[in-house]
Structure formats: structure tokens, C-alpha cells
Structure 1
């Protein structure tokens, strides 16, 4: 594309004369003659850098072809005019915008075949041109939605549903909209979320075709799940907090983003991340105000997933903050469940199963056997932490009785918690004893004794100073 140069001549009067003449030619059935006549003047206006006249001529050529329903000539004209030597960028932009405005009417009036031809023409014209990156993204999004429609309602002439879905995802994934300077931030975010949505759909489709026992690294839809995580990092969460993005009648960017991230986290069984995403949803004013509907559902999901998450400092902190939240008190069952996990007391699984099981198993979260087993695991881990807090040594038979497990299950759970660093424990198999306190060296004992003595002497000194101050005060009172 040639560098812009100063306008050498104004062809406005010539354009005003030629446009009515060409319109008359078209009415008499001489479309090609009219287009050729406009081409001749377009060359002069382009070489003279007359932007206004060139833009009018380009739009007129396309309009005459469109009104005559000659789509073959229309598509070829758009291609030819956009590739002319020294063609003005603003003129091409105007022509492309005009053609995109016709897409919906072409689709409804002239059929999908003509629409596809126009879409491919626009994609070809906009390919590799930075000043046309936004129109290219928009027309590509339309084409991706068309292929998605073929996936949902396949036709005999169309490829297989899976191929249609993959094609739609690949089309959108090729767009690096986060680098587009000419596109508004909201539109960028919408397209990124669409990329993530298509990737998740493809990933689920591929995962359903792979045998779980034979699944290898990055097999099935694993590559797509990785791309979803990358796409999620392109979205600025602070931007989603803006009021226009939190509450919108047709489209809610914030809720859609966190819904996609929840799907990704659930696939990875990252329960703590799921709880965080639901917490972000619950913080949304429109959701939080809906106490009996979406707000209640979001808060319930926060509770379920935070108790399902493996214990660590972050999970414990979130669990205790949630327990102290006044909103949780209104949910009696969920409040009591969180209270069980924040209290240093044993939770017997048969009791938990009988009290909470009938309700929890009816929820969408715990209807899955895997998550119900994960809850059982979290109860066992909580009980082991409580035992480790109150016991220095305990026999394996007694520990298995407290945990309501077999000896093998008890040892496996203990080993997992020791490896993760949650507790310190050693199993003496010959004697059948579990030690929850490490053997201390003489140096450790002396260091603790020295520390305790320093604290004791500090208290003595503080008491002595307090007594002296009291005696001095009494002396002054007596002297007066």
C-alpha cells in the first residue's frame, strides 16, 4: 500500500456528473459499461489522492452491482478495487464497511451460498491489512457462528458436526484480537470469550471420544483446555468489574467469563479456583441482591467447592472468612457444614452422611459420585488433622476406628497428608503405633527451654516494675 500523499486535484464535479450517467446505464441493462466508466475515473481520483471522490466511486461501483444482484461482479470488484496500486486506505475501509452492512440482507434474501461468497471475499480483502483488522474479526465471527449452526443442525452437504465445530473454533482462534488497537475493549473481550467458548465445546467433543483409561498427556481435548486457560488470562478482571460489564440486558461479560472459567476449573478438579470464581460472581451487585435466587445459588456453590478443596493456607483462610460472613448464617445447612470444617472436632462420616447426604446428593455438585467421594476424603483429612492436634501417639486400630476406615485406607490417607506437608507423622508398623510428634534433639530441647526462660524472666521483670510503680504511688499518697 502506497504512502498517503497530498491531494493534487478535486474531482468532485466530475463525480457528480458521472454517477447519474452510470445509474442511467444500469437501468438500461448496461451494468458492465457503467462499472468500466467508473473504473476509468477512479484511476484518476486515486492517482490524484482525492479521498472523498475515490470513496464515492468505490461505494457507487459496489452499490450498482449489489442493486443489480450481480454478486459475481460485486465480489470481483471489491477484490480488484482493494488491490489497486496506491489505493487509499480510508476508501477501502468505507467500501468494506458498506459491504458488511449488506451481509444480513444477502443472507435472508439471496440465500446462504451468496452470503458465504461475500464473507469469503471480505475475509480475503481484509487478510493481512492492519487497518482492516476489526472488520476481519467481525466477519470471521459471523462465519464461525455459521459453522457452529452446522454443528447443531447438520445438513447433508455439510461436513461432519465435529469438523464444523473445529472449523468454527480454528477460525476464531486465529484472531489475536488482544493486539488490535482499533477495536474497542468490550468488543475484544466478547470475541475472546467466544474463542474460549468454542475451545471448550471442541475439548468436550474430543474428550468424549477418548477412553479415560488410555488417555495420555495432551490427548483428547487437553490442548484446547490449555488454550482456554491462556485465553482467560487475556481478559482483564478489573475491566469486568465496570458497571456496564456487570449488568447488561442482553449480554453480561462478567458472568459469561466466570462461567467459562468455572467449566475449565471443574475439568481440572481445581475446586478452590471454582470457589473463587463463584465468589466473584456472588460479589456482583445484581447477583448479591437476588438473595433468594442467583445470589443464594452462588453462595451455596462457594460453600460446596471450598469444602471440597484440599486443605492449605489459602483454603483455610477462605473457609474461615466465609464462616464469619453474615450472609452465610441465613443458609442453615451450609452454615453448619462450614462450621464442622472450621471446628477442631472429629466428624464421623456416617453422621455427616445421614445429616447432610439426603440434601447434598440432590444438588448438581454432589450428584457426581466423584465429588461425593472427594467430600468423604476431605472429612477424613480433617479428622486426621484434629487427631494430630490432640494426640502425640495413637495406635492404628484406634485411629482407624475414629476415622471409620480400614487400616490400608488409613495408611494411604496418612501418607498423602505427610507428603503434602499438611501434618508430620510416622507409622511404626511392628508396634502398630502412629507418632504425630517428631523426635526432638537435645539442641531443640535446650533452645525451647532458653526461649521459655526468656519469656518467664520478661514476665518477672514486668511484674517487678509494676510493683515498684505501685509502691512509689502509695509513698506519694502517704507523704501528702
Structure 2
């Protein structure tokens, strides 16, 4: 096989090919092997003379004769033999492989199709110049295994491809390959591998792009045409900017599945916000309402911290929340420092929440984690109430606290202990006295620093008062009445 460089042919066999190929086709109708042998003789001469065009025509003609005769085993044999010949141009092999790929839909049965696919995978293995063709063939094989119900094999076959390293494949096709790999991993319950594969895609590719004026579009079109003229044969064609909304929605749907599986509620909320920032979703009222609901639900389910609190208030300020008034009302209660009694919340919002696919009061076979999320919402309401109590009380009896939280003493201690461990609140429980203290005890250094700060502030005030008194005395001395009195004396 040649090194891929295109040389000027020593001799042009185009006229010979125009004469011999039709004769070989007629001969093949009577004897296929003799027709192929006639073309092989021409293929050898053109290959040795570096006539790429004629060599490619010969290879395509040979496999076409085998296909027309219905001899698929001979086609496989010829593909293997032709690809292994000395000084065979890379471009000719690529043309032959691409032509055989067109024959896959014409195979008489699945076994024949699989044999042709395996032949192509053998020919393309380890050859960079046909890496894109190998990826496409492998994808077809994976789809066949998936249709047969063998998800594991389909996943293993497709995931062996490292398409992100393919320089000659368009970015859109790379993204489609990786998305399909992630999808198969999720179906095969290989969550860790799905997460690793999904990180190969850059979210900047899915970012919403501003609309361009006709002048800008025309300018970019001319630039692409100029690049196409200067492009060499080995370089991939320039990619036009296309709409990637379908890929974006597929990507974030998979990310939401992964986040739900691992109970990463804050990440799920962020992914839904990216879905919300899509023109097709914004223009579809039903999708817009459903996405807004899920943004609110998952930000409420996320454990409290600075990031969650910031995102909660940003979601609350979204003017589109008027599309989902009941969910917006629930969200508002988490933004104000007031107690939320869980029985009242459940009575007011429980039926509405369970009407969605996110929450369920009972075990749901279609989504086993729906009940877990409903319990998690109850925990978030109770934790919110504990933070509110800690804000307004320095000391409170355990009996009164259990009344405010609608919990038993054991559950109250558990929730306070969890929040103290997470450093969300400061609390100390005096069990013998049955008192909970939320007052932060300060050390001697802190008390001394506060006293020193207070003394500095006090001395500053005294100095300012003294200065003001002196100024008033000076103003009084130079007033007109005092000046007249001084002259009279």
C-alpha cells in the first residue's frame, strides 16, 4: 500500500479503462471470474503506473460485478485481496470501502450483511485514512445488535471507538456518536462509563448563538467558499454552522438521567435551566411549563448551601414563573424566613406534586426514586424550618421546638444533629434541661476583639463630639452680637 501521496501518473490508462471495463462487464455475465480477471490485469497496470483514477474505477468495477452477480462471498474475498496489494493507493481503498458500504442495504439477508460488515471492519482496522468509514460501519453493526436485544454487545462494539480523536469527522457526527455511546451505556446500566463518555463533549458547542443578519450570513458563506477552494484533499470540508438544538436536547436529557440516578438534584436543576434556554422550548408552552416546574422542583430538592441558596433566589426572580403559579408559590415560601408546616404544605401542594413524574407518595414501578424525592422534599421543608427557628431563637425548649417542626423528639434531634454536622446551623442540645441553644458561644479572643472594637468606636465618637463643641465655641465668639459687645467695652 502506498504512503498516500498522490503522484503524477506515469501513464494514463483512462482510454484503456473505457474500453476494457464494458468488455469485462459483458464477459462477467457469462463467466464472473474471467470478467474480474480481465479488470485485475488493468488494475495492476494502472496501480504500478500510479494512475489513481483508473485504479479506483477498477476496484469499484470488480466489487460491482460481484454484487450484481449476487456472489457476496466473492465480493468479501476481492475486497480483502484488493486492499492488501502492494502500492495500493489509500484513496482507491477509501473509494472501494465507501462503495461497498452502499451495498449493505441490498444484501439478501442479515447473515450476508454481517459478513460484509465484518469484511469492511477487517479492511479498515488500524488504517487512519478510513477511520470515519470504520466508525460508520461499527455504528451499523451496533444498531443491528441493539435491534436483536443484545444491548451489552452493542455497547461494547460502539464504545471501542474513540471518535473524538478523528480529525476527518465533522463535529456534529462526532457528537452524535458520543451521544449514542452514552445512551447505550445508560441502557446497559453502566452509569460510570456513561458519565466519563459524556465529559468528552463541550457544552460550548450547544450554547445558544445570537441570530445573525443576512449580511453576516452572506459574509460567512463567502469565507467558507474561499476555504473550500484552498482545502487540500486530506483535510475535512469546512463545517457550516447548523442548528444543534436536537443534539443539545439529547445531551441534557442524558445528563438529567445521570443526575437523577445519583440524586444530584442541583446538577439536574442546572441541566433543566440549559434546556429552558432553548428557542424551541421557549416557543412551546407545554414544554416551557414542564421545564419550569422541574427547575423549581430540583432546586428545592437540592441540599442547602451557598450555591443552592443563590440559585434558588435566581430561579425565584425568573419572570416566566407566572406560567406555573402553584409551583412558584411553593418556591416563594422557601425564600422567606417563615415556618412551613409540613402537614399544611402536603395538604396544599401534595396532590399537585404527585401528579407529575417527579414525586410519588407510594412506590412507583416506572420510577422507583419518585417516592425518595417526595421524602427528600419533606426533609428540605423541615431543614428550612430549623434554619428559621435558629434565626429567631437563641434558646428554645425541646417540647416547643417539636411542636413548631411537627416532629417527634427523636426526629427533632436527628435533624438538628444533621444540620450541625453539615455546619448549616450552630446548636447545642441540653438533654437533662430539655433545651436547645442556638447561640454561638464566643471564645475569649473574640470577646476581647469585640470589646476593643467597641472602645475604639467609643473613643472616636468622643473625639468627634469634642471637636464639634470646640467648633461651636469658636463660632459663638465670632458672631456679630459678641463682636459689637467687644467694641462697646
- Mark yes or no: TM-score above 0.5: yes
Is residue 169 of structure 2 the alignment partner of residue 177 of structure 1?
no
Contact 2:359/2:374, CA 8 A, preserved across alignment: yes
Residue 65 of structure 1 deviates from its aligned partner by 0.9
How far, CA to CA, are the matches of 2:347 and 2:83 in structure 1?
A: 73
Is residue 201 of structure 2 the alignment partner of residue 240 of structure 1?
no
How far, CA to CA, are the matches of 1:435 and 1:113 in structure 2?
A: 76
Is residue 293 of structure 2 the alignment partner of residue 300 of structure 1?
yes
How far, CA to CA, are the matches of 1:192 and 1:320 in structure 2?
A: 35
How far, CA to CA, are the matches of 2:445 and 2:18 in structure 1?
A: 100
Pick closer, same or farther for the CA change 1:4–1:475 going to 2, 3 Å: farther
Instruction: Determine the structure 2 residue equivalent to 1:154.
Output: none
Any residues of structure 2 matched to 1:312-351 within 5 Å, and which?
A: 312-351=305-344
Specify which of 264, 272, 282 is matched with residue 288 of structure 1: 282
Instruction: Determine the structure 1 residue equivalent to 2:3.
Output: 3
How far, CA to CA, are the matches of 1:45 and 1:477 in structure 2?
A: 118
Secondary structure of the residue that 1:115 maps to in structure 2? helix
Instruction: Determine the structure 2 residue equivalent to 1:208.
Output: none
Secondary structure of the residue that 2:27 maps to in structure 1? helix
Instruction: Determine the structure 2 residue equivalent to 1:400.
Output: 402
Where do 5+ consecutive residues of structure 2 fail to align? Answer: 210-240, 361-369, 481-489
Secondary structure of the residue that 1:79 maps to in structure 2? helix
How far, CA to CA, are the matches of 2:476 and 2:343 in structure 1?
A: 65
Specify which of 192, 202, 211 is matched with residue 226 of structure 1: 192
Instruction: Determine the structure 2 residue equivalent to 1:158.
Output: none
Specify which of 150, 162, 180 is matched with residue 194 of structure 1: 180
Relative to the length of structure 1, the TM-score reads 0.85
Larger Rg: 2
Once superposed, what is the RMSD of the aligned Cα atoms?
A: 2.6
Contact 2:66/2:74, CA 8 A, preserved across alignment: yes
Secondary structure of the residue that 1:274 maps to in structure 2? helix
Relative to the length of structure 2, the TM-score reads 0.84
How far, CA to CA, are the matches of 1:71 and 1:92 in structure 2?
A: 18
Pick closer, same or farther for the CA change 1:44–1:295 going to 2, 3 Å: same
Pick closer, same or farther for the CA change 1:242–1:381 going to 2, 3 Å: closer
Deviation readout 1:356-376 (Å, 9 max, x if unpaired):
112111111112221111000
How far, CA to CA, are the matches of 1:183 and 1:74 in structure 2?
A: 27
How far, CA to CA, are the matches of 1:50 and 1:103 in structure 2?
A: 28
Contact 2:272/2:294, CA 8 A, preserved across alignment: yes
Contact 2:3/2:90, CA 8 A, preserved across alignment: no
Moved more, 8-17 or 53-62: 8-17
Deviation readout 1:173-220 (Å, 9 max, x if unpaired):
1011111101000000001000010000010xxxxxxxxxxxxxxxxx
Secondary structure of the residue that 1:293 maps to in structure 2? helix
Instruction: Determine the structure 1 residue equivalent to 2:374.
Output: 372
Moved more, 67-76 or 464-473: 464-473
Contact 1:173/1:195, CA 8 A, preserved across alignment: yes
Is residue 254 of structure 2 the alignment partner of residue 260 of structure 1?
yes
How far, CA to CA, are the matches of 1:71 and 1:169 in structure 2?
A: 28
Pick closer, same or farther for the CA change 1:313–1:456 going to 2, 3 Å: farther
Where do 5+ consecutive residues of structure 1 fail to align? Answer: 152-163, 204-223
Residue 247 of structure 1 deviates from its aligned partner by 6.0
Any residues of structure 2 matched to 1:87-102 within 5 Å, and which?
A: 87-102=88-103
Moved more, 10-19 or 266-275: 10-19
Instruction: Determine the structure 1 residue equivalent to 2:133.
Output: 135
Instruction: Determine the structure 2 residue equivalent to 1:77.
Output: 78
Instruction: Determine the structure 2 residue equivalent to 1:215.
Output: none
Residue 241 of structure 1 deviates from its aligned partner by 2.3
Pick closer, same or farther for the CA change 1:463–1:150 going to 2, 3 Å: farther
Secondary structure of the residue that 2:148 maps to in structure 1? helix
Contact 1:247/1:286, CA 8 A, preserved across alignment: no
Secondary structure of the residue that 1:394 maps to in structure 2? strand
Instruction: Determine the structure 2 residue equivalent to 1:86.
Output: 87
Specify which of 443, 449, 453 is matched with residue 441 of structure 1: 443
How far, CA to CA, are the matches of 1:130 and 1:86 in structure 2?
A: 17
Instruction: Determine the structure 1 residue equivalent to 2:213.
Output: none
How far, CA to CA, are the matches of 2:268 and 2:335 in structure 1?
A: 20
Deviation readout 1:11-50 (Å, 9 max, x if unpaired):
22222221122011012x2110111122222222222222
Residue 455 of structure 1 deviates from its aligned partner by 5.2
